[in-house]
Chain A
Amino acid sequence: MDLTCLTIEQVHKGLVEKNFSAVEICSAFLKKIDSLDKNIKAFLTITPHLALSQAKKVDEKISRKQEISLLAGVPCSVKDNILVKDVKCTAGSKILENYIAPYDATIIKWLKKQDIVILGKTNLDEFAMGASTENSAFFPTHNPNDLERVPGGSSGGSAAAVVANMCVYAFGSDTFGSIRQPASFCGIVGLKPSYGAVSRYGLIAMASSLDQIGPLTKNVRDAEIVFDAIRRKDPKDSTNAILCKNVAEKAPEINNLKIGVPKEYFIKGIDKDVEKIVRNAINKFEKAGAKIVEISLPHTKYAVASYYIATPCEVSANLARYDGIKYGLSKLEANSLEKLYFETRGQGFGDEVRRRIMIGSYALSAGYYDAYYLKAQKIKTLVRNDFDHAFEKVDVILVPVAPTPAFKIGEKTDDPLSMYLCDVFTGPANLAGICAISVPAGKIGNLPVGLQIIGKSFKEKVILEVGKMFESL
């Protein structure tokens, strides 16, 4: 039996029934990484020592007949912008090339208590800025479905690792589509929780008003298991305070389910085959008894422009901390403090990061605040209002994840704007602070295409239920 293609529930069952040990399955994954990752390049750091010591602990518990959690002994990987104590955490940047995490991110701390097994840290666009993982300062990751194509981004390493069976599930972060788009490009499930649902303490900040951590998994049930394990209130994250009573709400039966389909998501520029696959998915729901309602989200087309002015502002502030003094790259040979700042930051940051720092510094400089940041924040309100109105009439919204399937490596690297437009269908959910999940819906040749299910704030259970319905249709 190939242990590397199992889901979380299957691994748990296998461990409890002693079909295999935690060390056995952990070793199987380490071997798989060893043989596949030289071509896929999903991992920045592999942590065999940590993984095997965590696995041994699980085996000891099983041999003492102690109960183990659903995630205990299930090998996972972690995007390299989430801190795992004593393991390198680069955020895909030269400026953090030798940075060793001094503490665990809150979710990692919690999950270590549940005996999770961490195989390694996965590649990403530098500081999670990008949609292809080509902006990693180290190397691009290849899509396991077609090695000449990107896995999507910025959580491209996590998505590639899951689909290539180099881990059972992975953690990613989603600021404007960075979990859902790579999930769609690779053919797996990716959940972006509502803003505020999951602690971000120990996630290297990009745009704090939008960043969320979430799981990338092989099916919707696995995404639910991981989400249930990480959605808890953390006093260390002041934006993480959830209305627990809403989270448990269930989706209606499929006969009573009202699905919104916004016309603004089926526009010129969307790949014909992507549109066909998503329309097919919607038809399946209709045939099964769901009611399809045409809705309008009129401010959709402004989401990308609003994001690419507001986010650089937050980036320029969040990345001011990389100054070569307290940690990270430091050009100590510089002969003054100011020179040290200039040279450290000039050499440590890659092109996209510099672009965003520059745009942000410009937009926040005297005289421009109202025209740019404030305007973008007002448009964010309008995007949120669009969704609020739509959700008066429907339970969930079904849309494509991205306008195209995975593109070729190098195809968009010379044109930042064309890369930004990859986010046109994923970004609005981030601006509105609501939850969304990408579920595999079909393939064009060997290239997967995802269906996006969008739900209200803190109604993760609803979109997870609808995702499971779709898997069974």
Chain B
Amino acid sequence: MEIKWQRVRGRFSAKSHFKRLAGIHGRRKKIIRPWQPPASWLDALDGFKVDGFQWQGPDDAGNGVILWCPHCRTASLIQFLGDGDDGGASVQPEILASFGDHRDDDQVLWSLFDIRILISKSFEMREFTFKPGSYRFAFDNDGISLILFRWAPAAALLTDQGLADFTAGALKRDPRDFHEISFNGYPAVAWKLCHGFLPRWHCFRSKPSFFQGRVWHIESLNRILGVHMLAKKPLEDSLLDTICGSYETLS
């Protein structure tokens, strides 16, 4: 089984996707044609616009569907490899019914290497950096920048410095900006800063004035997680709590 997906900008056309697929298969000496999926498939894929296709190559064959979800504007392709003669009867409809391309709570679960976070879908990923020992992901949403950090191995990074000094070095800030707290039972440092002396004029500044964040040390997994938020307007504590609560690292 193979699944591919892509966010579609503008109008979706199954015909153009099919043509593109035909071109790819044609180059690989495979014949592709439209195909009517069985009723069990259509029932299982309720909520999607479904277009079936079948292909035949010199050594292999298969059938699949192009799915279009108007809610999240995602086009997905699911195809099953096989002889293609059974008309898809060998495929369990439960497999297709378990397919989903978005959550119903307007949140997105990001799962990257050993870290996971559930955040609002309005946060769009701006940049990411994967360096050994240091991961960084930046998201933007309506004037709020969210930066997630993950450092490892924590024991080596904290050999001759405390968590506050390490965080200050990583974020290039003064260690006195941070205060020590306990977060979910882990030793942590937190900060809430406002730069500038005219609060009402913050929105006219080109750079963010409000900074809030938290870094915590998960000793059992030898990792350090961090959340840093920047904004031009004051940040709500509940947003940081929600983000930190859903940010986790897996063993």
Q: Do A and B come from one complex?
A: no
